[in-house]
Structure 1
Amino acid sequence: MTIELRHLRAVVAVAEAGSFTAAATALHITQPALTRTVQQLEASLGVRLFDRTSRALALTEDGAGFVEKVRVILGDLDSAVALYTTRTLALGFSWLLPDPWAQQVIDDVERNSRATVVPRRCDDPIAALNNATVDAAVVRRDVPGDEFVQHPLFEEQRIAAVSAASPLAGRESIDWAEFGTLPLVINTLSGTTSEDLWPNHDGPVVTCSNFDEWLELIAADRGVGTVPEVARRRVNHRNVRFIPLVGAPPAVVRFVYRRNRVTPLLRVLRDAAIRNSPPPGGATVRQRR
Structure 2
Amino acid sequence: MGIELHHLRGFLALADEKHFTRAAKRMNVSQPTLSRNIKRLEELLGRRLLERTTRQVHLTAEGESLYEQLRFLIPRLEAVLRPQADDETFRVGFAWGFPTGWPQEVIAGFEEATGLSVRVHRHDAKLAGVDTGDTDVAILRGRIRAPDVEVLPLLHERRVAAVSTRSELAGREEISWQEIAELGLVINEVSGTTDLADWPVGNQPGVSVVCRNFDEWLEAVAANKGVGVVPEFVGRQHIHSFVSFLTIPDAPLVPLNLVYSRPGGHPLIPRFVAMAQGAVGGTAQAVDA
Aligned equivalent of 1:288: 287
Give the structure with the higher percent helix: 1
Q: Is 1:244 aligned with 2:247? A: yes
Which ranges in structure 1 are unaligned for 5 or more consecutive residues? 1-78
Seq. identity, %:
38
- What is the distance in 2 between the residues matched to 1:188 and 1:177? 21
- What is the distance in 1 between the residues matched to 2:87 and 2:229? 39
- What is the distance in 1 between the residues matched to 2:256 and 2:242? 27
Q: Is 1:201 aligned with 2:200? A: no
Aligned equivalent of 2:39: none
State the AA in 2 paired with 1:231.
V
Aligned counterparts, 1:154-165, within 5 A: 154-165=155-166
Distance 1:134 1:235, change over 3 A: farther
Q: Is 1:275 aligned with 2:274? A: no
Q: Is 1:211 aligned with 2:210? A: no
Q: CA deviation at 1:146?
A: 3.5
State the AA in 1 paired with 2:111.
E
Q: CA RMSD in A?
A: 2.3
Aligned equivalent of 2:129: 128
Aligned counterparts, 1:146-185, within 5 A: 146-185=147-186
State the AA in 2 paired with 1:150.
V
Specify the SS of the correspondent of 1:111.
helix
State the AA in 2 paired with 1:98.
P
Specify the SS of the correspondent of 1:168.
coil
Aligned equivalent of 2:266: 263
**Aligned partners of 2:165 and 2:243 also within 8 Å:** yes
State the AA in 2 paired with 1:262.
G
- What is the distance in 2 between the residues matched to 1:126 and 1:204? 23
Specify the SS of the correspondent of 1:257.
strand
Specify the SS of the correspondent of 2:96.
coil
State the AA in 2 paired with 1:288.
V
Specify the SS of the correspondent of 2:268.
helix
Aligned equivalent of 1:231: 234
Residues 136-175 of structure 1: CA distance to partner in whole angstroms, max 9, x if unpaired?
Answer: 1111123223411111110011111110100111101111
Q: CA deviation at 1:257?
A: 1.0
Distance 1:198 1:288, change over 3 A: closer
Distance 1:149 1:86, change over 3 A: farther
Aligned equivalent of 2:91: 90
**Aligned partners of 2:125 and 2:191 also within 8 Å:** yes
- What is the distance in 2 between the residues matched to 1:100 and 1:211? 21
**Aligned partners of 1:162 and 1:223 also within 8 Å:** yes
The number of residues matched between the two structures is 203
Farther off after superposition, 101-110 or 155-164: 101-110
**Aligned partners of 1:141 and 1:252 also within 8 Å:** yes
- What is the distance in 1 between the residues matched to 2:132 and 2:187? 25
Greater C-alpha radius of gyration: 1
TM-score by length of 2: 0.65
**Aligned partners of 1:138 and 1:255 also within 8 Å:** yes
- What is the distance in 1 between the residues matched to 2:225 and 2:124? 21
Q: Is 1:222 aligned with 2:238? A: no
- What is the distance in 2 between the residues matched to 1:247 and 1:173? 10
State the AA in 2 paired with 1:141.
G
